[in-house]
């Protein structure tokens, strides 16, 4: 396992480097700059600011200068948040985004896996068609539509939950549902497909023929194999929850890293964009690795050497 983890880490280094290059080039190619919106500043002041942050240097020199700082885990100062570094912004916003992602994935797993397994057990009945219809609806409705709808119904009409903020548990219900609903729909369909495949295996029929109860067949024999597609999906899903939190954090005014990322894009805050992009890429690699390790551990046909046993 240790060799497998080290191999995956070394394989991820070129990926992160490529993300760094493309993000830097595309960011510089976009029109405008971090100080182009400063209408009250004179051209001389803007020139001094560009010199201060080395923005007037050739792009190659800027890139290698930034790369040296990244290798020291220093993402530089923010251009728009005065007296704050990108490391400080990430340190303040990342725990909030991770907490939101945790609540969303718990909601998605509880709702999605339970409805998917239940639908597979009641195949081709209305108890199968109903949750699968709702899952298709959940896939089709985007978070930027679901969030305002939840706010309208539960925060404005019925006044059950607050509209925005991140203080107590009442502020976290609607954002978690908004962010996790789409993933719950995917998990429901994956759970159903995986369980149907396992329930048609010979060893399941053998267990039933020996008189094993249906509940024991499901819980002891079918779930472990039936949920393997779900585990494969969880790695990208966890990173996707952080990426999808951009919209959710903006709707509910949550002080997470996703909201800072959106504001950094609008403000042309180069260092903030670069720092958060590298962070999200690293988290995607980490969650994929964690998902693969768990998948190999649960599937006896796979090994950490990359071949089937």
Decide: 127 and 118 in contact? Cβ < 8 Å: yes
Question: Nearest-CA neighbor of 231 among 223, 220, 221?
Answer: 223
Enclosing domain of residue 137: 95-254
**Residue 114 is assigned to a structural domain of this protein:** yes
Share of the chain above pLDDT 70, in %: 93
Q: What is the pLDDT of residue 110?
A: 92
Region 198-213 average pLDDT: 79
* DSSP-assigned letter for residue 302: B
User: What global pTM score does this model have?
Assistant: 0.82
**Residue 183 is assigned to a structural domain of this protein:** yes
Binned at pLDDT 50, 70 and 90, residue 40 comes out as: low
For residues 40 and 165, which has the higher predicted lDDT (pLDDT)? 165
**Residue 189 is assigned to a structural domain of this protein:** yes
Q: What is the pLDDT of residue 264?
A: 84
Phi, psi dihedral angles at 302 (to 5 degrees): -110, 160
pLDDT in tens, 98-149: 899 889 999 999 999 889 888 888 888 888 888 888 888 888 888 888 999 9
**Residue 8 is assigned to a structural domain of this protein:** no
Per the structure, the count of domains in the chain is: 1
What does R_g of the chain's alpha carbons equal in angstroms? 24
**Residue 246 is assigned to a structural domain of this protein:** yes
**Residue 73 is assigned to a structural domain of this protein:** no
Instruction: Provide the β-strand partners of residue 85.
Output: 77
pLDDT in tens, 211-268: 777 777 777 777 777 777 888 787 778 777 776 678 888 889 888 888 888 888 888 8
Does the pLDDT value for residue 34 go beyond 80? Answer: no
Give the SS3 label for residue 308. strand
CA 135 to chain CA centroid, nearest Å: 19
Where does residue 171 rank: exposed (0-12), middle (13-18), buried (19+ CB within 10 A)? middle
Phi, psi dihedral angles at 85 (to 5 degrees): -90, 165
**Residue 36 is assigned to a structural domain of this protein:** no
Q: What is the pLDDT of residue 177?
A: 93
Does the pLDDT value for residue 61 go beyond 50? Answer: yes
**Residue 84 is assigned to a structural domain of this protein:** no
- Looking up residue 132, the CATH number of its domain turns out to be 1.10.3720.10
């Amino acid at each position: 396992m240790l060799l497998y983890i080290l191999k995956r880490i070394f394989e991820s280094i070129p990926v992160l480097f490529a993300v760094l290059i493309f993000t830097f080039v595309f960011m510089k190619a976009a029109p405008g700059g971090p100080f182009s919106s400063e209408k009250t500043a004179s051209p001389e002041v803007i020139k001094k600011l560009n010199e201060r942050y080395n923005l007037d240097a050739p792009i190659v020199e800027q890139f290698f200068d930034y790369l040296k700082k990244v290798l020291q885990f220093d993402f530089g100062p923010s251009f728009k948040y005065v007296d704050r570094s990108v490391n400080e912004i990430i340190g303040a916003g990342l725990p909030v985004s991770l907490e939101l992602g945790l609540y969303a994935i718990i909601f998605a797993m509880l709702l999605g896996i339970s409805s998917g397994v239940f639908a597979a057990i009641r195949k081709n009945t209305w108890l199968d068609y109903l949750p699968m219809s709702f899952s298709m609806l959940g896939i089709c409705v985007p978070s930027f539509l679901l969030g305002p709808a939840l706010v309208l119904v539960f925060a404005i009409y019925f006044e059950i939950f607050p509209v925005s903020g991140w203080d107590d548990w009442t502020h976290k219900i609607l954002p978690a549902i908004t962010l996790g609903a789409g993933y719950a729909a995917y998990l429901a369909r994956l759970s159903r497909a995986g369980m149907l495949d396992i329930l048609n295996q010979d060893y399941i029929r053998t267990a039933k023929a020996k008189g094993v109860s249906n509940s024991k067949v499901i819980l002891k024999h079918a779930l472990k194999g039936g949920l393997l597609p779900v585990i494969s999906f969880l790695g990208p899903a966890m990173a996707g929850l952080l990426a999808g939190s951009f919209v959710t954090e903006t709707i509910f005014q949550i002080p997470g890293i996703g909201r800072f990322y959106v504001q950094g894009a609008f403000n042309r805050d180069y260092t903030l964009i670069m720092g958060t992009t590298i962070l999200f890429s690293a988290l995607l690699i980490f969650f994929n690795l964690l998902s693969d390790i768990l998948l190999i551990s649960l599937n006896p046909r796979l090994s950490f050497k990359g071949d089937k046993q």
